[in-house]
Chain A
Amino acid sequence: MATDEARKSVLHRLLRDPQAVITASILLATIALGLLANVLPQHGPNDVVFGNVNLPTGSPGYPFGANQLGQDIFARVLHSINTAWVSALIGASVALVVGTTFGLIGGYFTRLRSGVEWVFTVVMTLPGILLLILLMPLTGGDFRATMLIYGFLMSPGVYRIVRNQTIGVSKELYVDAAKVSGVTHTRILFRHILSVVRGPIIIATSFLTGTAIGVQAGLAFLGVGSAEIASFGGMISQGFRAINIDPMQFIWPSIFLGLITANIVLFGNALRDALEGSRPKPQKITATQTTEGFSAEVSGPADELAVLQVRDLGIAYKSPAGVLNEVVRGVNLTIRQGETIGLVGESGSGKTQTAFGILGVLPLEAKVTRGSVRIEGNECLGAPEPVLRALRGNTIAYVPQEPMSNLDPVYTIGSQLVEGIRAADGCTKPEARERAIELLGRVGIPNPQRVFKSYPHEISGGMAQRVLIAGAVASRPKILIADEPTTALDVTVQAEILDLLRELQEEMNMAIIMVTHNFGVVADICDRIAVMKQGQIVETGQIEELFANPSHEYTKMLLDSILDEDTIRTDPPVRQGANQ
Chain B
Amino acid sequence: MLLYLGRRMIAGLVLFIVSSLITFLLLSMSFDNIIATRLGPGATPEQIADMAARLGMDRPVLIQYLDWLGGLFRGDMGTSFFTGADVMSQLPQRISVTLSVVLPALTLSAIVAVLLGVWAASRGGWVDKVCQGFSLIGNLIPNLLVAIGLVMLFAIELGWLPATGFVPMEQDFGGWLRSITIPVITIFIGGAANIANQVRGTMIDELRKDYIRTLRTRGVSPRAILLKHALRNAAGPAVTVLGLTFITMFGGALIIEQVFALHGFGTFAFTAATSGDYTVMLGVMSVGIGLTVGMNLLVDIVNGWLNPKARVY
Contact = CB atoms under 8 A, between A and B. Distances in A.
A392 B156 contact: no
A398 interface: yes
Contact of B211 (A214, A359, A405): A405
A122 B12 CA distance: 10
Given A122-B19, A130-B284, A455-B308, A285 B225 contact: yes
Interface in A264-284: 265-266, 269, 280-284
Nearest to A138: B30
Interface in B25-62: 26-27, 29-30, 33-34, 37
Interface stretch (B82-90, B121-129, B176-184): B121-129
Contact of B218 (A258, A423, A455): A423
A125 B15 contact: yes
B140 interface: yes
Given A128-B247, A129-B251, A359-B217, A122 B22 contact: yes
Contact of A410 (B22, B215, B233): B233
Interface string A281-324: 11111100000000000000000000000000000000000000
Nearest to B226: A285
Given A218-B255, A419-B224, A423-B218, A126 B33 contact: no
B4 interface: no
B114 interface: no
B263 interface: no
Interface in B272-300: 273-274, 276, 281, 284-285, 288-289, 291-293, 296
Given A122-B19, A280-B208, A409-B307, A221 B292 contact: no
Nearest to B223: A286
Contacts of B120: 282
B274 A136 contact: yes
Contacts of A221: 144, 255, 258
Interface string A451-488: 00001010000000000100110000000000000000
A510 interface: no
Contact of B269 (A124, A133, A407): A133
A285 B212 contact: yes
B67 interface: no
Given A261-B140, A394-B219, A406-B210, A127 B292 contact: yes
Contacts of A390: 219
Nearest to B256: A218
Contact of A408 (B207, B233, B285): B233
Contact of A133 (B124, B136, B254, B292): B254
Interface residues of A, number: 76
A199 interface: no
B269 A265 contact: no
Given A127-B289, A364-B124, 17 more contacts: A122-B18, A125-B296, A127-B247, A137-B30, A138-B26, A222-B270, A243-B156, A285-B225, A286-B222, A359-B216, A385-B222, A390-B219, A405-B209, A410-B307, A419-B220, A455-B309, A468-B214
A65 B261 CA distance: 28
B16 interface: yes
Interface of A: 121-122, 124-131, 133-138, 214, 217-218, 221-223, 233, 236, 240, 243, 250, 254, 257-258, 261-262, 265-266, 269, 280-286, 356, 359, 361, 363-364, 385, 389-394, 396-398, 400, 402, 405-411, 416, 419-420, 423-424, 455, 457, 468, 471-472
A424 B218 contact: yes
Contacts of A138: 26-27, 29-30, 33
Contact of A218 (B140, B224, B252): B252
A397 B217 contact: yes
B218 A125 contact: no
Nearest to B37: A137
6 contacts: A125-B16, A128-B251, A133-B254, A254-B145, A419-B215, A423-B221
Contacts of A396: 217
Contacts of B207: 282-283, 285
Contacts of A389: 216, 219, 221
Nearest to A401: B210
A574 B33 CA distance: 75
Contacts of A364: 124
B306 interface: yes
B139 interface: yes
A236 B148 contact: yes
Contacts of A125: 15-16, 19, 289, 292-293, 296
Interface string B1-24: 000000000000001101100110
* Nearest 5 CB-CB pairings of A with B: A127-B288, A393-B219, A282-B124, A420-B218, A137-B30
Interface of B: 15-16, 18-19, 22-23, 26-27, 29-30, 33-34, 37, 120-124, 128, 136, 139-145, 148, 152, 156, 200, 204-205, 207-222, 224-226, 229, 232-233, 247-248, 251-252, 254-255, 258, 266, 269-270, 273-274, 276, 281, 284-285, 288-289, 291-293, 296, 306-309
Contacts of B306: 410
B222 A222 contact: no
Chain A CB within 10 A, most for which of B152, B200, B218:
B218
B142 A257 contact: yes
Nearest to A263: B140
Contacts of A284: 122-124
A281 B292 contact: no
B204 A280 contact: yes
Choose among A250, A258, A364 the residue with the greatest number of B CB atoms under 10 Å from its CB. A258
Nearest to B267: A222
A262 B136 CA distance: 9
A266 to B, nearest CB: 7
Contacts of A236: 144-145, 148
Contacts of B208: 280, 283, 363
A82 B193 CA distance: 29
A361 B216 contact: yes
Contacts of B270: 133, 222
A392 B217 contact: yes
Contacts of A405: 209-211
Contacts of A363: 208
Nearest to A405: B210
B124 to A, nearest CB: 4
A138 B32 CA distance: 10
Contact of B141 (A136, A258, A385, A409): A258
Contacts of A361: 213, 216-217
B278 to A, nearest CB: 8
Contacts of B142: 214, 217-218, 257-258, 261
Contacts of B281: 134
A397 B269 contact: no
Given A214-B142, A261-B141, A265-B136, A402 B19 contact: no
Nearest to B296: A125
Contacts of B22: 122, 126
Given A121-B15, A262-B140, A392-B218, A409 B309 contact: yes
Given A402-B210, A406-B211, A457-B309, A281 B204 contact: yes
